[in-house]
Structure 1
Amino acid sequence: MLFELMRKREGVYNEDRKERTENRPIEEATVPEYLVFPLAMHIGAPAEPTVEKGDKVKVGTLIAEKAGFISANVHSSISGEVIDISDQPTIKGIAPCITIKNDYKDLEEPPLYSEDEELSVDQMIEIIEKAGVVGMGGATFPTSVKLSPPAEKTIDTLIINGAECEPYSTADHRLMVDHAKELIDGVRILVDILSVGTVHIALESNTHDSVEEMKKILDKVDHINIVELETIYPQGSEKNLIKKLTDREVPAGGLPVDVHTVVVSVATTLAIYEAIRSRRPTVKRITTITGEPIQEPKNLLVRVGTPINHLIEECQGFRSKPGKVIHGGPMMGIPIKSGRIPVTKGTSVITFLEKEEAVRSERTPCIQCAECLNVCPVSLQPILISQAYENGDIEEAERLGAMDCIDCGNCSYICPSKIPLLDNIRSAKKEIRARQEEQ
């Protein structure tokens, strides 16, 4: 990777690659003939299909129902016919999906609730659950669960996360500029649901134009603070944001609710607005398609289920052959090898890298420089966790705090020995989870 990284305790300054899309307004993408809907486009149990092959569906039809407390509904983003329910390539590997053929009529299901209905807090949370809203910053945790903390966990602070720290992504930036009114209305909905007195909208200093747009919308009664933070990676980590904005530290293995805080991304906040004000489920999202190989990078409003190949065509194809395709950004994203993989609720950016950017240098022995410790935003010891995993000592990896890793990738990118630290820690976490499920 040809990023120049300068170290700072608990973060890095990486080279900004946003210039090709940061000033491009959001465009609505065209819709392909076939769309693919993974049953697990969220954290937790995969949804259970509610349709069969041959069924007719509309925009907003529930095609898979949540299958547990931590799960989420899946809705069709087009009208047409269910033609297949089978395993297909997804960001999580080969997994069950529903394939729908588009009839291009865009027939819609009735709204989620009657326009004349006055919603209580419980009803709003129920609508958000019904709409299938999940964390759209990438975590994909079911939002209705996040907004329903245990009675003993009082919430006094809401943080809206607009700190888009991946080097290429501008989807959240453009959302804050192009949809400032809807975003602020979504924040107001969250304030009503959580009854909080303190609200921060956090973003990085390189998106100052979005601050101006949001300030035009805010009323004096809102009591919403817009906070411009230093542009440093990973500024958007929710634990970091909580520490910087509230001086509270989420305990190891804990959640923001443990320090009386809820963090919601700007994309999720817009989805909440869509569910409550527009009365529609989550069937679209804003995604950046970018990177040097792309002919015409764009910020696109995309139907969930759209294959990535279609979005490449939407951006006029390639001007050079890509060496790597990443679902997400180069720091936290996951490399993919199939353009058939569809956009899901958590797809904020698809990054295409040139061959020379994607070449991984040869690994050499650790030189004990401690740089991975210096840049870890959650104060872990990445090299020790990695060594424990490679030695097959999963218990030691867990003891060292592998499960507290936020997958930011700082350790791998700063490592002069090119040890695959993040890959090893992710693998360790996967084995730890598997062991926990067996117990």
Structure 2
Amino acid sequence: MLLQLMKKREGAYTVERKRRTEHKPTEEASVPEYLIYPLSMHIGAPAKPVVEKGDYVKIGTLIAEKEGFISANVYASISGQVKEISDQPTMNGKGPCIVIKNDYQDVYEAPLLSEGEELTVDQKKSLIEQAGVVGMGGATFPTSVKLSPPPEKSIDTLIINGAECEPYSTSDHRLMVEYAEQLIEGIRVLHEVLPVTKTYIAIESNTHESVAVMKAAIEDVDHIEIKELETIYPQGSEKSLIKNLTGREVPPGGLPADVHTLVTNVATTFAIYEAVRLGRPLTKRITTITGEPIKEPKNLWVRIGTPIQHLIEECQGFQSKTGKMIHGGPMMGKPLTSGQVPITKGSSVITFLEKEEAVRSERTPCIQCAECLHVCPVSLQPILISNAYENGDIDQAEKLGAMDCIDCGNCSYICPSKIPLLDNIRSAKSEIKARKEDN
């Protein structure tokens, strides 16, 4: 009798939808009359407004400052007048925002540093903190915190994450193709502030153009290696990258610093370059606007605070009926119900699905196929966590490792019974967090 062993995939092969934007150079998006700046566009405490209604601001004016250790500054991306500070639609529901009316003059504040100024390591870290740089691949964790681990967790390995695994997103790909030199300079900044001995640039093997451009960019640079990775979702997750590139495993509930590694997205690395070399705060980013309903999908340089509705018009509107609008991609993204939701620091892609794509198939009983276990990149048992949540056993969901879920969505994607596994696990995580806050 032969035993057939199933290799643990720890990922899923998704249908790629990058073809409509991967070869489109970035364009500057036009700027609307009103921009909206959520005070919470990062992990941690919301920023505190430092402007009032009627104040005049410039591009690069600090409008909300970080509150506490894990928080981030927010800057104006236009010049104009503060119209109001009020609750507005955001990707997380209604929340406090600063609304600024554009005067279309594009008046700039002075840079955060003087030209030619020599900086110490601490000053460079401070500039990154001042500039409001956060993880721009979607996590939005304040970068300055990641750059200051305790001495026993000093960083020796740096991973630049260009593994853009969401099926529609091409913003990181275009950034690597068009701004390779600036990215390498951002890596040099990181080398100056961290005691790293090895740097990897991780790129999925299907993005041939960015691989070629980045390989050319590092020809004369020491201690940087391009790593082409299998195109499998979620190849770009921190824990997967660390394991695949270094063999190190981040412990359950742990952080990359626990294994002396720092992972930073390519867009974050570009923002680090602009902060330390040019003294520019984070006021804009590349965002892919795409999906079959969009008439002319684009990769756009977008001012942070721009409502998504304005970008839909920038892409000539819709060519077919839209069934769902998602902040992010279809795997990890959050559905949106309002075009007034603004682009924030973590908005790498806005995806639109046709009505047929967005219809959720009818749920049927679990057939115990174990596919959700096979594709989980962090080796959880999604169906058991989901069952615990649906049975009201939050303690059991926590014991099963719900808090270690990285929200990749592989389990829901692969489930033949169409059980809302990710939705249930996310809800379990929210209840676990709420309990801890209450205590």
Secondary structure at the counterpart of residue 152 of structure 1: helix
1:332-367, Cα deviation, whole Å (9 max, x unpaired) = 000001000000000000000001100100111111
Secondary structure at the counterpart of residue 356 of structure 2: helix
Q: Which residue does 1:427 correspond to in 2?
A: 427
How many aligned positions are there?
Answer: 433
Q: Which residue does 1:415 correspond to in 2?
A: 415
Structure-1 separation of matches of 2:363 and 2:217? 51
Q: Which residue does 1:80 correspond to in 2?
A: 80
1:341 aligns with 2:341: yes
Alignment of 1:244-393 (within 5 A): 244-393=244-393
Secondary structure at the counterpart of residue 192 of structure 1: helix
Structure-2 separation of matches of 1:338 and 1:355? 17
Alignment of 1:211-222 (within 5 A): 211-222=211-222
Equivalent position amino acid for 2:415 in 1? C
Structure-2 separation of matches of 1:261 and 1:366? 38
Equivalent position amino acid for 1:405 in 2? C
User: Please, what TM-score do these two structures have when normalized by structure 1?
Assistant: 0.97
Q: Which residue does 1:92 correspond to in 2?
A: 92
Q: Which residue does 1:127 correspond to in 2?
A: 127
Q: Which ranges of structure 2 fall in alignment gaps of 5 or more residues?
A: 1-6
Cα distance, 1:222 vs structure 2 = 2.4
Structure-2 separation of matches of 1:410 and 1:221? 37
Cα distance, 1:221 vs structure 2 = 4.1
Per mean C-alpha deviation after superposition, the further-off stretch among 352-361 and 209-218 is 209-218
1:233-291, Cα deviation, whole Å (9 max, x unpaired) = 00001100000100000000000000010000001000101101121000000000000
The alignment-based identity, stated in percent, is 75
1:119-172, Cα deviation, whole Å (9 max, x unpaired) = 111101100000000000000000000001111112110000000000000000
Equivalent position amino acid for 1:397 in 2? A
1:53 aligns with 2:44: no
Secondary structure at the counterpart of residue 97 of structure 1: strand
Cα distance, 1:8 vs structure 2 = 6.2
Considering only aligned residues, what root-mean-square deviation do their CA atoms show, in Å?
A: 0.9
Q: Which residue does 2:25 correspond to in 1?
A: 25
1:364-395, Cα deviation, whole Å (9 max, x unpaired) = 11111111001100000001111111111111
Q: Which residue does 1:396 correspond to in 2?
A: 396
Alignment of 1:105-144 (within 5 A): 105-144=105-144
Structure-1 separation of matches of 2:131 and 2:155? 24
User: Please, what TM-score do these two structures have when normalized by structure 2?
Assistant: 0.97
Q: Which ranges of structure 1 fall in alignment gaps of 5 or more residues?
A: 1-6
Per mean C-alpha deviation after superposition, the further-off stretch among 325-334 and 218-227 is 218-227
Structure-2 separation of matches of 1:184 and 1:8? 35
Cα distance, 1:300 vs structure 2 = 0.3
1:92-145, Cα deviation, whole Å (9 max, x unpaired) = 111000000000001111100111321111101100000000000000000000
Residue 45 to residue 167, structure 1, CA distance change in 2 (3 Å): same
Cα distance, 1:43 vs structure 2 = 0.2
Structure-2 separation of matches of 1:141 and 1:213? 28
Off by >4 Å, runs of 4+ in structure 1: none
Q: Which residue does 2:36 correspond to in 1?
A: 36
Secondary structure at the counterpart of residue 346 of structure 1: coil
